[in-house]
Structure 1
């Protein structure tokens, strides 16, 4: 039996679920009467989603549909970072949505400080864009998870690699 237990705190999203959410959004755009003739496109890149539409109103509608489809697929709204709306060629508008992944050093430091201050038997360590938490007791790790779920961080947190 292991003497210490650990888990990782990461900020990530399921890429396949994002592909499915964008796919469903495109399908709904093609079938909805008010959006059918707008020639709106939604393109999923490696780190971004680009929406190109004929007006700010339809752009707003499409981004709402995208958020709704992502929520139904258990993707956090915190992964979306909406850029500003830009003018595109031919009196069209474009918006780029950045998909946030990873925990920044600043947030990782806040998380590890909170863990160190409140739970004395738990050791957090920052490892790149993740935070590893280790302890001799599984119950302490469960307490850490519960406490972090209560906080509201600007990134979506997941707990992985639990051993």
Structure 2
């Protein structure tokens, strides 16, 4: 509840650079809400996994989404949401700029935009497929302990000692 009140206090209707920075900061911070995983990101990953495995019949080894633990699904859903948001923003800006200018329609620029979008999704897919957390022998207990230590600020102290 405090994060929601803090978000409302930080944002106002003035379109200033500080407000834009606060919006971006709050977007990336909401991977966890009230010390609970963001259910939207987990639902996005779960729905993506169902679509990938049941409709498209892509194996778990080569698919973007995995049936793994919730931490992995949370990261996959959050990264997909962020990339989709960025591509939507970039595509909208590019399309509006190209439509507002008084020059002939250029299809090669739209082809370049499509190739750029596909490269972004390929990069996202490669990052997910090559993620070390997808290996069957990955030690999730050690990873969870490290994440808890990082949240408390203990990991750097232990590493220096």
Shorter-chain TM-score: what band?
under 0.3
RCO comparison, higher one (Cα < 8 Å, 6+): 1
**Which structure: greater strand fraction?**
1
User: Per residue, is there more helix in 1 or in 2?
Assistant: 2
